[in-house]
Amino acid sequence: MIEVLIVDDHSIFRSGLRSDLDASLSVVAEAASVDEAVELIAQHRPRVVLLDVHLPGGAGGGGAEVIRRSSALLGEVTFLALSVSDSAEDVVGVIRAGARGYITKGSSGAEVSRAVAAVAGGDAVFSPRLAGFVLDAFGAVAGEQAETSDELDRLSAREREVMRLIARGYSYREVATELFISVKTVESHVSAVLRKLQLSSRHELTAWALERKLL
Amino acid sequence: MRPRHVVVGGVSEALAVHLGWSTRVVRLVIIALAVAGGGGVLLYLWLWAFVPLEEQGADAVAPDPSMVDAAAVRRRAPVAALLVAVAAVSAAIAFGSLATAEGTASLALLGVTAAGGLAVAWSLYFDRHDPGRSPRYGTGIRIAAGALLFVAGAVALASRPSAVNAVIGVGLVVLAVAVVVAPRVVTLWTELMRERSARVREEQRAEIAAHLHDSVLQTLALIQNRAGASSEVARIARAQERELRDWLFAADEPVAADLATELRRVAASIELDFAARIDVVSAGVPDGLASAGTASAPLLAAAREAMLNAARHAGGDVSVYIESLPASTDVFVRDRGPGVDLRALPADRLGIRESIVGRMMRAGGTATVRPGAGGVGTEVHLRLEVDRD
């Protein structure tokens, strides 16, 4: 049984999601604002927090602020961002704050449940759009990344392959078949990319984020 | 309706059209009324103020492409120059009669003030927006009027400082200074106003965007979520969401018509017709082949055909990935349908063979159609390299 906390300021959306979630998930609480979310997360310590990117309250930082204020619990609590769109503006802020992945609000209950199970198991949830963004942000398409020596600022050849396949709409399983590696290996590549996305100080990434006031 | 190409204000012409008289008759009547007690002048001004301008478009088809500003009113009569001339004549009368008839002189000085001031006002408010009048003409008018006012004021002060003359003289000098400063002030003012209204618009837009983002987009997402990915309702909600999003955030994104933007548009229109959800992802340099309109036309057409096939025969989730490098562009279209076997296709099925593979080969590129990973669905890979010559 995976304990889940839903954070979204729309009660209709919360109740809709709650009723759609898989039986293997139990919703322990719901929060509607940044402050409420921080409080309830500290109190319940759920395994996974389904976190809306745009939230009222707090200092106006939305979902990313919730993660930052709960950072002491990051080992124990995992954040899966819920966003109304999968545009990079919406997503990268929460990912860099520490979310393990994101899913769009248009996804079905089954898809959300699968994503929750994945992040609860320690994996990252990457969408094709985010993979495309990563390829761009790390300059992996144009092949200009050889200049950087910092391991955090570049993708390995294998990670690049994995990202390209995900961008093409492949599931982890399909990526594994395609590259003749195990699903577990694909997952570890994706997690590595996620870590780089969170920690990299590649200037394109920071400049991009600054421009959109995400830092 | 007052026309846009006029002598002074377009009032006579408008009146002539309205009454069915000839323009000349109307003009004569107005002038006669003006001479007989000044009623004509009042009538003219009153009509000028209240008769609306003709709608643009009727004669906005400017034959000369250099006339960018079709909306501007063009005036044939050099009213500002005439006013300066009146002011000059009045000044001459004033100087001539200063010593003899003081009443006439004061009256003439008033005439200088009025005519000079009007000339400057005219040049600032009308001639500046008239494409037929050069900025140099305006500057000339203002310098002439200013000089006239200043000289008249100085002479009035210097000659015989009666109370009336002194007041008029000081007024004239002040006005002369104002004339010199006026254009700058007017420019600053209009700019300030424009900036302020732009900012207000921007703020309003941001506010509307934030509100819609929090309410309508959420609801549309919820609808898609509840209705199932490829149902009719979800597709409509998705199309609506995309439209709204484009409108809300249009200002943030460059309008460059690159391949990814084009394919997104194609995807949107296909989604409306078929039960499919098409995700378009792009990566790479935006200014590679993808932005070259003509070179990528076959690629775009082939990709469109592939997306259409995927939506028609497979449906469900379709992924499109565009990768543009400076030297080449790759497009992947993958679906999760029953898959196609190229050899098993009848020869008359032109879709894949002709519209995709043939088209790409003629353009000097390649197209590969193969089963998707794990044997699920189909993946079409289009590749076009940029000619480096």
* Segment B241-267, tens digit of pLDDT: 888 877 776 655 554 557 777 888 888
Measured between CB atoms, does B321 come within 8 Å of chain A?
yes
CA dihedral A67, A73, A77, A78 (to 10 degrees): 40
Residue recorded with tokens 């694909």: A186
**Residue range A159-187: mean pLDDT, rounded:** 87
pLDDT at B60: 44
Lowest model confidence (mean pLDDT) among A16-25, B18-27, B256-265 = B256-265
B279/A129 CB distance under 8 A:
yes
Q: Using a CB-CB distance cutoff of 8 angstroms, which residues of chain B are in contact with residue A136? A: 283-284
Strands annotated E in A69-201: 78-83, 102-104
**Residue range A109-120: mean pLDDT, rounded:** 86
pLDDT at B285: 65
Model confidence band, residue A24 (pLDDT cutoffs 50, 70, 90): confident
Q: Which residues contact B323 (CB under 8 A, 6 or more apart)?
A: A135, A141, A164, A167, B282, B283, B284, B329, B330, B331, B332
Going by C-alpha positions, the residue among A168, A18, A192, A199 that lies closest to residue A98 is A199
A84/B228 CB distance under 8 A:
no
CA separation (Å) from A176 to A100, A172, A182?
20, 6, 5
* Among A170, A171, A186, A212, the residue to mutate for chain B (most B Cβ within 10 A): A170
pLDDT digits (tens, 9 = 90+) for B302-335: 888 888 888 887 777 888 888 887 778 888 888 8
Which of residues A123 and B101 earns the better pLDDT score? Answer: A123
| CA terminus-to-terminus distance, chain A | 35
- Tell me which residue in A16, A85, A133 faces B222 most closely, judged by beta carbons: A16
| CA dist., res. B276 & res. B335, Å (int) | 10
pLDDT digits (tens, 9 = 90+) for A26-35: 889 888 888 8
Token pair for A100: 């393990």
Token pair for B343: 């050899």
pLDDT at B101: 64
Highest mean pLDDT among A179-183, B15-19, B45-49, B122-126 belongs to A179-183
Mean pLDDT over the full length of chain A: 82
Whether residue A179 has pLDDT greater than 60: yes
Longest pairwise C-alpha distance within chain B: 114
**Residue range B184-192: mean pLDDT, rounded:** 85
Whether residue B66 has pLDDT greater than 50: no
Cβ atoms of A167 and B281 within 8 Å: the answer is: yes
Measured between CB atoms, does A212 come within 8 Å of chain B?
no
B217/A12 CB distance under 8 A:
no
Cβ atoms of A29 and A53 within 8 Å: the answer is: no
pLDDT at A5: 92
Going by C-alpha positions, the residue among B82, B81, B79 that lies closest to residue B7 is B79
pLDDT at B287: 53
Measured between CB atoms, does A174 come within 8 Å of chain B?
yes
Whether residue B160 has pLDDT greater than 70: no
Token pair for B17: 């059209």
Which of residues A142 and B370 earns the better pLDDT score? Answer: B370
Which of residues A155 and B157 earns the better pLDDT score? Answer: A155
| CA dist., res. B25 & res. B22, Å (int) | 5
Measured between CB atoms, does A6 come within 8 Å of chain B?
no
**Residue range B113-124: mean pLDDT, rounded:** 77
pLDDT at A193: 87
Which of residues A88 and B119 earns the better pLDDT score? Answer: B119
Q: Using a CB-CB distance cutoff of 8 angstroms, which residues of chain B are in contact with residue A145? A: none
What is the ipTM for the molecules in this complex?
0.78
A128/B321 CB distance under 8 A:
yes
Measured between CB atoms, does B229 come within 8 Å of chain A?
yes
B258-385 sits in which CATH class?
Answer: alpha beta
Whether residue B4 has pLDDT greater than 50: yes
> How many contacts, defined by CB atoms under 8 Å, are there between A and B?
99
| CA dist., res. B48 & res. A167, Å (int) | 65
